[in-house]
Structure 1
Protein backbone atom coordinates (compact mmCIF):
# COMPACT_ATOMS: atom_id res chain seq x y z
CA UNK A 1 0.00 0.00 0.00
CA UNK A 2 2.90 2.37 0.46
CA UNK A 3 4.00 1.85 -3.18
CA UNK A 4 1.38 4.17 -4.82
CA UNK A 5 2.20 7.07 -2.51
CA UNK A 6 5.69 7.77 -3.95
CA UNK A 7 4.28 7.66 -7.48
CA UNK A 8 1.57 10.14 -6.54
CA UNK A 9 4.18 12.37 -4.95
CA UNK A 10 6.33 12.22 -8.09
CA UNK A 11 3.30 12.98 -10.27
CA UNK A 12 2.39 15.92 -8.01
CA UNK A 13 5.98 17.15 -8.09
CA UNK A 14 6.06 16.93 -11.89
CA UNK A 15 2.74 18.80 -12.12
CA UNK A 16 3.99 21.46 -9.71
CA UNK A 17 7.19 21.90 -11.71
CA UNK A 18 5.27 22.23 -14.98
CA UNK A 19 2.84 24.69 -13.39
CA UNK A 20 5.75 26.75 -12.05
CA UNK A 21 7.42 26.79 -15.46
CA UNK A 22 4.17 27.78 -17.18
CA UNK A 23 3.49 30.62 -14.75
CA UNK A 24 7.11 31.79 -14.73
CA UNK A 25 7.16 31.82 -18.52
CA UNK A 26 4.02 33.94 -18.67
CA UNK A 27 5.03 36.27 -15.83
CA UNK A 28 8.58 36.75 -17.08
CA UNK A 29 7.23 37.64 -20.53
CA UNK A 30 5.24 40.51 -19.04
CA UNK A 31 6.80 43.94 -19.43
CA UNK A 32 7.86 45.70 -16.28
CA UNK A 33 9.92 44.94 -13.23
CA UNK A 34 11.28 41.51 -12.43
CA UNK A 35 8.65 39.54 -10.54
CA UNK A 36 9.48 38.06 -7.15
CA UNK A 37 9.80 34.34 -6.61
CA UNK A 38 7.03 34.58 -4.01
CA UNK A 39 4.64 36.12 -6.57
CA UNK A 40 5.43 33.35 -9.07
CA UNK A 41 4.76 30.67 -6.44
CA UNK A 42 1.51 32.35 -5.40
CA UNK A 43 0.27 32.60 -8.99
CA UNK A 44 1.22 28.95 -9.62
CA UNK A 45 -0.83 27.94 -6.58
CA UNK A 46 2.09 26.42 -4.68
CA UNK A 47 3.99 27.38 -1.58
CA UNK A 48 7.30 29.16 -1.73
CA UNK A 49 9.03 26.04 -0.34
CA UNK A 50 7.74 24.05 -3.33
CA UNK A 51 9.12 26.65 -5.69
CA UNK A 52 12.53 26.60 -4.00
CA UNK A 53 12.55 22.79 -3.92
CA UNK A 54 12.32 22.79 -7.73
CA UNK A 55 14.29 25.98 -8.36
CA UNK A 56 16.62 26.87 -5.48
CA UNK A 57 17.55 30.24 -6.99
CA UNK A 58 16.06 32.80 -9.36
CA UNK A 59 18.84 31.88 -11.78
CA UNK A 60 17.81 28.21 -11.76
CA UNK A 61 14.20 29.21 -12.55
CA UNK A 62 15.29 31.57 -15.34
CA UNK A 63 17.56 28.89 -16.79
CA UNK A 64 14.72 26.32 -16.69
CA UNK A 65 12.32 28.70 -18.45
CA UNK A 66 14.98 29.57 -21.01
CA UNK A 67 15.87 25.93 -21.72
CA UNK A 68 12.18 24.95 -21.88
CA UNK A 69 11.57 27.62 -24.50
CA UNK A 70 14.61 26.55 -26.55
CA UNK A 71 13.36 22.95 -26.50
CA UNK A 72 9.92 24.14 -27.60
CA UNK A 73 11.52 26.04 -30.49
CA UNK A 74 13.71 23.18 -31.65
CA UNK A 75 10.96 20.57 -31.29
CA UNK A 76 8.52 23.04 -32.79
CA UNK A 77 10.44 23.12 -36.07
CA UNK A 78 10.19 19.35 -36.41
CA UNK A 79 6.54 19.22 -35.34
CA UNK A 80 5.50 22.05 -37.66
CA UNK A 81 7.23 20.41 -40.62
CA UNK A 82 5.33 17.21 -39.90
CA UNK A 83 1.98 18.97 -40.15
CA UNK A 84 2.45 21.77 -42.70
CA UNK A 85 4.26 22.75 -45.88
CA UNK A 86 7.71 24.22 -45.18
CA UNK A 87 6.77 27.85 -45.88
CA UNK A 88 3.74 27.59 -43.58
CA UNK A 89 5.87 25.79 -40.97
CA UNK A 90 8.47 28.56 -41.15
CA UNK A 91 5.86 31.29 -40.64
CA UNK A 92 4.39 29.47 -37.64
CA UNK A 93 7.91 28.91 -36.27
CA UNK A 94 8.53 32.66 -36.55
CA UNK A 95 5.61 33.16 -34.17
CA UNK A 96 7.16 30.66 -31.74
CA UNK A 97 10.41 32.59 -31.97
CA UNK A 98 8.54 35.80 -31.16
CA UNK A 99 7.03 34.15 -28.09
CA UNK A 100 10.54 33.08 -27.04
CA UNK A 101 11.85 36.63 -27.45
CA UNK A 102 8.91 37.97 -25.42
CA UNK A 103 9.60 35.47 -22.65
CA UNK A 104 13.01 37.01 -22.13
CA UNK A 105 11.57 40.46 -21.25
CA UNK A 106 11.20 39.97 -17.50
CA UNK A 107 14.34 37.93 -17.07
CA UNK A 108 16.75 39.85 -19.27
CA UNK A 109 19.03 41.16 -16.51
CA UNK A 110 19.33 37.75 -14.88
CA UNK A 111 19.77 36.03 -18.23
CA UNK A 112 22.52 38.41 -19.37
CA UNK A 113 24.41 37.83 -16.12
CA UNK A 114 24.07 34.08 -16.60
CA UNK A 115 25.32 34.29 -20.20
CA UNK A 116 28.31 36.42 -19.15
CA UNK A 117 29.25 33.89 -16.45
CA UNK A 118 28.65 31.02 -18.94
CA UNK A 119 25.90 29.46 -16.82
CA UNK A 120 23.69 29.48 -19.91
CA UNK A 121 25.51 28.39 -23.04
CA UNK A 122 24.65 31.13 -25.53
CA UNK A 123 26.65 29.47 -28.33
CA UNK A 124 24.88 26.14 -27.78
CA UNK A 125 21.46 27.80 -27.86
CA UNK A 126 22.39 29.71 -31.00
CA UNK A 127 23.45 26.47 -32.71
CA UNK A 128 20.24 24.70 -31.68
CA UNK A 129 18.07 27.52 -33.04
CA UNK A 130 20.03 27.80 -36.27
CA UNK A 131 19.71 24.04 -36.77
CA UNK A 132 15.92 24.34 -36.30
CA UNK A 133 15.71 27.11 -38.92
CA UNK A 134 18.02 25.17 -41.26
CA UNK A 135 15.79 22.10 -41.09
CA UNK A 136 12.81 24.16 -42.24
CA UNK A 137 14.82 25.96 -44.93
CA UNK A 138 16.19 22.65 -46.23
CA UNK A 139 12.68 21.18 -46.45
CA UNK A 140 11.48 24.36 -48.17
CA UNK A 141 14.28 24.21 -50.73
CA UNK A 142 13.48 20.56 -51.46
CA UNK A 143 9.78 21.40 -51.88
CA UNK A 144 10.58 24.47 -53.98
CA UNK A 145 8.64 26.88 -51.77
CA UNK A 146 11.60 28.61 -50.07
CA UNK A 147 14.57 30.30 -51.74
CA UNK A 148 17.74 28.22 -51.95
CA UNK A 149 20.12 31.15 -51.32
CA UNK A 150 18.97 32.14 -47.80
CA UNK A 151 20.83 30.96 -44.71
CA UNK A 152 19.54 30.24 -41.24
CA UNK A 153 21.80 33.05 -39.93
CA UNK A 154 20.09 35.53 -42.26
CA UNK A 155 16.63 34.42 -41.15
CA UNK A 156 17.62 34.61 -37.48
CA UNK A 157 19.11 38.10 -37.89
CA UNK A 158 15.95 39.23 -39.69
CA UNK A 159 13.76 37.86 -36.90
CA UNK A 160 15.80 39.58 -34.20
CA UNK A 161 15.56 42.84 -36.13
CA UNK A 162 11.80 42.49 -36.59
CA UNK A 163 11.10 41.75 -32.95
CA UNK A 164 13.43 44.52 -31.80
CA UNK A 165 11.68 47.12 -33.95
CA UNK A 166 8.10 45.89 -33.65
CA UNK A 167 8.11 45.91 -29.86
CA UNK A 168 9.40 49.47 -29.48
CA UNK A 169 6.82 51.85 -28.00
CA UNK A 170 5.29 54.18 -30.55
CA UNK A 171 6.05 52.08 -33.63
CA UNK A 172 3.08 51.53 -35.88
CA UNK A 173 4.56 48.42 -37.47
CA UNK A 174 3.40 45.10 -36.13
CA UNK A 175 5.49 41.98 -35.90
CA UNK A 176 2.85 39.94 -37.77
CA UNK A 177 2.95 42.28 -40.78
CA UNK A 178 6.76 42.30 -40.85
CA UNK A 179 6.91 38.50 -40.53
CA UNK A 180 4.52 38.14 -43.47
CA UNK A 181 6.72 40.46 -45.54
CA UNK A 182 9.82 38.47 -44.54
CA UNK A 183 8.17 35.21 -45.56
CA UNK A 184 7.16 36.70 -48.92
CA UNK A 185 10.83 37.61 -49.45
CA UNK A 186 11.89 34.07 -48.61
CA UNK A 187 9.75 32.55 -51.36
CA UNK A 188 11.30 31.97 -54.80
CA UNK A 189 10.37 34.43 -57.53
CA UNK A 190 7.19 33.45 -59.28
CA UNK A 191 6.04 31.29 -56.36
CA UNK A 192 2.42 31.92 -55.35
Structure 2
Protein backbone atom coordinates (compact mmCIF):
# COMPACT_ATOMS: atom_id res chain seq x y z
CA UNK A 1 0.00 0.00 0.00
CA UNK A 2 1.24 3.50 -0.74
CA UNK A 3 0.18 6.98 0.20
CA UNK A 4 -1.31 7.49 -3.28
CA UNK A 5 -4.90 6.54 -2.40
CA UNK A 6 -5.64 6.40 1.34
CA UNK A 7 -9.41 6.19 0.71
CA UNK A 8 -9.01 2.78 -0.95
CA UNK A 9 -7.35 1.32 2.17
CA UNK A 10 -8.84 -1.02 4.71
CA UNK A 11 -10.03 0.78 7.85
CA UNK A 12 -7.07 -0.34 9.99
CA UNK A 13 -4.56 0.62 7.28
CA UNK A 14 -6.23 4.03 6.91
CA UNK A 15 -6.00 4.57 10.70
CA UNK A 16 -2.29 3.70 10.60
CA UNK A 17 -1.79 6.04 7.65
CA UNK A 18 -3.53 8.91 9.47
CA UNK A 19 -1.61 8.27 12.72
CA UNK A 20 1.66 8.25 10.82
CA UNK A 21 0.82 11.57 9.17
CA UNK A 22 -0.16 13.11 12.51
CA UNK A 23 3.01 11.94 14.22
CA UNK A 24 5.12 13.07 11.25
CA UNK A 25 3.51 16.53 11.51
CA UNK A 26 4.44 16.69 15.19
CA UNK A 27 7.95 15.34 14.72
CA UNK A 28 8.72 17.62 11.77
CA UNK A 29 7.35 20.62 13.68
CA UNK A 30 9.52 19.76 16.69
CA UNK A 31 12.73 18.58 14.99
CA UNK A 32 12.52 19.54 11.32
CA UNK A 33 12.17 17.30 8.30
CA UNK A 34 15.15 15.17 9.30
CA UNK A 35 13.27 13.82 12.34
CA UNK A 36 13.69 10.10 12.90
CA UNK A 37 11.29 7.98 10.87
CA UNK A 38 11.70 5.20 13.44
CA UNK A 39 10.53 7.60 16.16
CA UNK A 40 7.55 8.66 14.03
CA UNK A 41 6.54 5.01 13.57
CA UNK A 42 6.99 4.28 17.29
CA UNK A 43 4.91 7.31 18.31
CA UNK A 44 2.20 6.23 15.84
CA UNK A 45 2.14 2.80 17.47
CA UNK A 46 3.28 0.92 14.36
CA UNK A 47 6.47 -0.73 13.16
CA UNK A 48 8.90 0.90 10.76
CA UNK A 49 7.79 -1.58 8.08
CA UNK A 50 4.27 -0.17 8.26
CA UNK A 51 5.62 3.35 7.80
CA UNK A 52 7.63 2.24 4.75
CA UNK A 53 4.65 0.40 3.26
CA UNK A 54 2.70 3.66 3.30
CA UNK A 55 5.63 5.99 2.62
CA UNK A 56 8.56 4.26 0.89
CA UNK A 57 10.76 7.35 1.27
CA UNK A 58 11.01 10.42 3.47
CA UNK A 59 10.03 12.46 0.41
CA UNK A 60 6.83 10.40 0.02
CA UNK A 61 5.94 11.19 3.64
CA UNK A 62 6.67 14.89 3.11
CA UNK A 63 4.63 14.91 -0.09
CA UNK A 64 1.63 13.40 1.70
CA UNK A 65 1.90 16.05 4.44
CA UNK A 66 2.31 18.92 1.99
CA UNK A 67 -0.15 17.93 -0.74
CA UNK A 68 -3.03 19.82 0.91
CA UNK A 69 -0.81 22.89 1.40
CA UNK A 70 0.15 22.85 -2.27
CA UNK A 71 -3.50 22.57 -3.26
CA UNK A 72 -4.38 25.45 -0.90
CA UNK A 73 -1.59 27.56 -2.41
CA UNK A 74 -2.94 26.86 -5.91
CA UNK A 75 -6.42 27.91 -4.80
CA UNK A 76 -5.04 31.05 -3.12
CA UNK A 77 -3.29 32.00 -6.37
CA UNK A 78 -6.48 31.42 -8.35
CA UNK A 79 -8.48 33.51 -5.85
CA UNK A 80 -6.00 36.37 -6.18
CA UNK A 81 -6.44 36.59 -9.97
CA UNK A 82 -9.32 39.01 -9.36
CA UNK A 83 -7.27 41.33 -7.15
CA UNK A 84 -7.20 44.93 -8.51
CA UNK A 85 -3.38 45.11 -8.39
CA UNK A 86 -1.71 42.14 -10.09
CA UNK A 87 1.70 42.85 -8.51
CA UNK A 88 0.22 43.17 -5.03
CA UNK A 89 -1.69 39.92 -5.59
CA UNK A 90 1.52 38.18 -6.62
CA UNK A 91 3.39 39.61 -3.63
CA UNK A 92 0.65 38.57 -1.18
CA UNK A 93 0.73 35.07 -2.62
CA UNK A 94 4.54 35.00 -2.45
CA UNK A 95 4.51 35.91 1.24
CA UNK A 96 1.95 33.19 1.98
CA UNK A 97 3.95 30.68 -0.04
CA UNK A 98 7.16 31.65 1.75
CA UNK A 99 5.52 31.21 5.14
CA UNK A 100 4.16 27.81 4.12
CA UNK A 101 7.62 26.69 3.04
CA UNK A 102 9.11 27.41 6.47
CA UNK A 103 6.53 25.45 8.47
CA UNK A 104 9.15 22.74 9.14
CA UNK A 105 12.86 23.39 9.66
CA UNK A 106 14.71 22.22 6.55
CA UNK A 107 11.66 22.31 4.31
CA UNK A 108 12.96 25.20 2.20
CA UNK A 109 15.92 23.03 1.15
CA UNK A 110 13.67 20.11 0.24
CA UNK A 111 11.35 22.34 -1.77
CA UNK A 112 14.27 23.96 -3.62
CA UNK A 113 15.50 20.48 -4.52
CA UNK A 114 12.00 19.56 -5.70
CA UNK A 115 11.82 22.63 -7.94
CA UNK A 116 15.13 21.58 -9.52
CA UNK A 117 14.03 17.95 -10.05
CA UNK A 118 10.74 17.76 -11.93
CA UNK A 119 10.66 13.97 -11.51
CA UNK A 120 10.50 14.12 -7.70
CA UNK A 121 7.25 13.39 -5.87
CA UNK A 122 7.29 16.83 -4.24
CA UNK A 123 7.75 18.51 -7.59
CA UNK A 124 4.89 16.58 -9.19
CA UNK A 125 2.67 17.29 -6.20
CA UNK A 126 3.15 21.05 -6.43
CA UNK A 127 2.57 21.23 -10.22
CA UNK A 128 -0.90 22.80 -9.84
CA UNK A 129 0.44 25.36 -7.40
CA UNK A 130 3.26 26.31 -9.77
CA UNK A 131 0.81 26.56 -12.66
CA UNK A 132 -1.52 28.85 -10.68
CA UNK A 133 1.43 31.00 -9.60
CA UNK A 134 2.36 31.27 -13.27
CA UNK A 135 -1.03 32.84 -13.98
CA UNK A 136 -0.35 35.48 -11.31
CA UNK A 137 3.05 36.20 -12.86
CA UNK A 138 1.58 36.44 -16.38
CA UNK A 139 -1.15 38.78 -15.18
CA UNK A 140 1.35 41.08 -13.43
CA UNK A 141 3.58 41.15 -16.53
CA UNK A 142 0.62 41.82 -18.84
CA UNK A 143 -0.45 44.73 -16.60
CA UNK A 144 3.05 46.20 -16.91
CA UNK A 145 3.59 45.93 -13.15
CA UNK A 146 6.18 43.14 -13.29
CA UNK A 147 9.37 43.23 -15.34
CA UNK A 148 8.79 41.59 -18.72
CA UNK A 149 11.86 39.36 -18.37
CA UNK A 150 10.74 37.71 -15.10
CA UNK A 151 9.43 34.13 -15.29
CA UNK A 152 7.25 32.20 -12.86
CA UNK A 153 10.04 29.70 -12.01
CA UNK A 154 12.30 32.64 -11.17
CA UNK A 155 9.66 34.14 -8.86
CA UNK A 156 9.27 30.77 -7.12
CA UNK A 157 13.03 30.46 -6.76
CA UNK A 158 13.23 33.98 -5.28
CA UNK A 159 10.38 33.26 -2.85
CA UNK A 160 12.09 30.07 -1.69
CA UNK A 161 15.38 31.94 -1.42
CA UNK A 162 13.73 34.64 0.70
CA UNK A 163 12.14 31.98 2.90
CA UNK A 164 15.47 30.18 3.26
CA UNK A 165 17.26 33.44 4.11
CA UNK A 166 14.61 34.33 6.66
CA UNK A 167 14.82 30.87 8.23
CA UNK A 168 18.64 30.81 8.37
CA UNK A 169 19.40 34.43 9.27
CA UNK A 170 21.93 34.88 12.03
CA UNK A 171 21.03 37.19 14.88
CA UNK A 172 17.27 36.82 14.70
CA UNK A 173 14.75 35.88 12.06
CA UNK A 174 13.86 38.84 9.83
CA UNK A 175 10.29 39.25 8.75
CA UNK A 176 9.64 37.16 5.67
CA UNK A 177 7.22 39.83 4.47
CA UNK A 178 10.04 42.39 4.66
CA UNK A 179 12.43 40.16 2.69
CA UNK A 180 9.79 39.42 0.03
CA UNK A 181 9.00 43.15 -0.19
CA UNK A 182 12.66 43.86 -0.92
CA UNK A 183 12.68 41.18 -3.62
CA UNK A 184 9.55 42.61 -5.21
CA UNK A 185 11.06 46.09 -5.36
CA UNK A 186 13.57 44.62 -7.79
CA UNK A 187 10.92 42.75 -9.75
CA UNK A 188 8.62 45.70 -10.38
CA UNK A 189 8.58 47.18 -13.85
CA UNK A 190 10.06 50.66 -13.96
What TM bracket, shorter-length normalisation? 0.5 to 0.7
Q: Give the greater-gyration-radius structure (CA).
A: 1
Q: Is the 8 A contact 1:98 1:163 kept in 2?
A: yes
Contact 1:146–1:188 (CA<8 Å) still a contact in 2? yes
Q: Evaluate the alpha carbon distance shift between residue 145 and residue 62 of structure 1 in structure 2; reply closer, same or farther with a 3 A threshold.
A: same
C-alpha distance 90-15 of structure 1, shift in aligned 2 (>3 A)? farther
Tell me how many residue pairs correspond in the alignment.
Answer: 170
Alpha-carbon RMSD: 4.3
Query: 1:147 corresponds to which residue?
Result: 146
Q: Aligned with 1:169: secondary structure?
A: coil
What residue ranges of structure 2 are gaps of 5+ in the alignment?
A: 1-6
Measure, in 1, the Cα distance between the counterparts of 2:133 and 2:15: 31
**C-alpha separation between the residues in 2 aligned to 1:22 and 1:183?**
36
Decide whether the 8 Å contact of 2:77 with 2:132 is kept in 1.
no
- Answer yes or no: is 1:47 the counterpart of 2:48: no
* 1:170 is the counterpart of 2:177: no
Contact 2:137 2:152 in 1 (8 A): yes
CA distance in 2, matches of 1:15, 1:186: 46
Instruction: Please say if residues 163 and 176 of structure 2, whose CA atoms lie closer than 8 Å, have aligned partners that are also in contact.
Output: yes
Corresponding residue number in structure 2 for 1:63: 60
CA distance in 2, matches of 1:23, 1:139: 40
1:66 to partner: Cα distance? 3.2
Q: What does residue 14 of structure 1 align with?
A: 14
What's the offset of the Cα at 1:179?
Answer: 1.7
1:79 Cα deviation after fit = 0.7
Alpha carbons of structure 1 residues 16 and 89: separation in structure 2 relative to 1, 3 Å: farther
Query: When the two structures are superposed, what TM-score results if normalisation uses the length of structure 1?
Result: 0.60
Quote how far apart the aligned CAs of 1:152 are.
1.2
Structure 1 unaligned spans of 5+: 1-6, 116-120
Question: Counterparts of 1:24-103 in structure 2 under 5 Å?
Answer: 24-31=24-31, 34-43=34-43, 46-49=44-47, 52-56=49-53, 60-66=57-63, 68-69=65-66, 72-73=69-70, 75-84=71-80, 85=83, 87-88=88-89, 90-103=91-104
Q: So what's the TM-score if we normalise by structure 2? A: 0.61
